[in-house]
């Protein structure tokens, strides 16, 4: 983000912290699409994604006074959105089932050229078809940049389970896309 944009965002956050609804609306407009994309990937359904997104923004604006200046609004908001997605998935009771840890598990390489060749829409459609547990780990690792240790802490699972769910998600997506 450029310096001028940072100044505008900082100003909007400060005004929002003072209860300025117009500033909150401007922040909403600036971040709604990026946060929707996170919700859509994690929830796998447009309607559920919109519901979670709205709840997350309500929470964010009700808690905005607690935002510390050393934390960027976007990172803070992203964390709130991800937490709302995870809570919604938990409510559906479709979260990851802890797998037995196994010594023969090996993590697949992150660099898979065949996987990257497919168009985004086909991949997203395949992601929507996998279980919520696998989808959650895949989204947190691949799209949100968390490592397996962090994912384990967020979801209350072991690091090995996170790795296994990620591998399982990739495998299922490959099958759905007919990639070996």
Tell me if 106 is assigned to some domain: no
Residues 123 and 60 in one domain: no
165 is in which domain, residue-wise?
113-176
Predicted pLDDT at 107: 46
What pTM did the predictor assign? 0.65
Residues 82 and 132 in one domain: no
Cα dihedral sign, 106-109-115-120: positive
Residues in the chain: 180
Instruction: Say which residues have a Cβ less than 8 Å from residue 64's Cβ, sequence separation at least 6.
Output: 13, 16, 17, 24
Residues 14 and 83 in one domain: yes
Q: How many domains does the chain have?
A: 2
* pLDDT < 50: residue spans in the chain: 94-109, 111-118
Tell me if 101 is assigned to some domain: no
What's the distance, Cα to Cα, between the start and end of the chain in Å? Answer: 39
Residues 86 and 127 in one domain: no
Residues 128 and 163 in one domain: yes
From residue 40, alpha-carbon distances to 13, 43, 46 in Å are: 25, 5, 6
Tell me if 103 is assigned to some domain: no
Residues 86 and 7 in one domain: yes
Residues 32 and 82 in one domain: yes
CB 166 within 8 A of CB 174: no
Tell me if 104 is assigned to some domain: no
- Tell me, what CATH number does 73's domain have? 1.10.1740.10
Residues 84 and 152 in one domain: no
Residue 26: phi, psi to the nearest 5?
-65, -40
Residues 128 and 77 in one domain: no
Task: Residue 128: name the closest of 176, 178, 166 by CA.
Answer: 176
């Amino acid at each position: 983000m450029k310096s001028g944009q940072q100044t505008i965002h900082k100003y909007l956050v400060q005004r929002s912290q003072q209860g300025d609804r117009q500033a909150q609306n401007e922040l909403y407009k600036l971040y709604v699409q990026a946060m929707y994309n996170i919700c859509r990937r994690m929830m796998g359904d447009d309607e559920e994604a919109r519901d979670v997104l709205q709840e997350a923004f309500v929470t964010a604006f009700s808690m905005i006074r607690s935002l510390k200046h050393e934390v960027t609004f976007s990172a803070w908001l992203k964390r709130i959105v991800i937490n709302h997605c995870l809570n919604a998935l938990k409510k559906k009771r479709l979260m990851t089932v802890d797998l037995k840890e196994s010594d023969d598990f090996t993590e697949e390489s992150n660099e898979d050229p065949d996987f990257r060749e497919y168009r985004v829409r086909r991949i997203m459609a395949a992601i929507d078809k996998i279980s919520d547990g696998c989808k959650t780990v895949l989204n947190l690792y691949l799209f949100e940049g968390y490592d397996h240790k962090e994912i384990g802490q967020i979801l209350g699972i072991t690091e090995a389970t996170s790795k296994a769910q990620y591998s399982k998600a990739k495998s299922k997506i490959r099958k759905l896309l007919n990639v070996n």
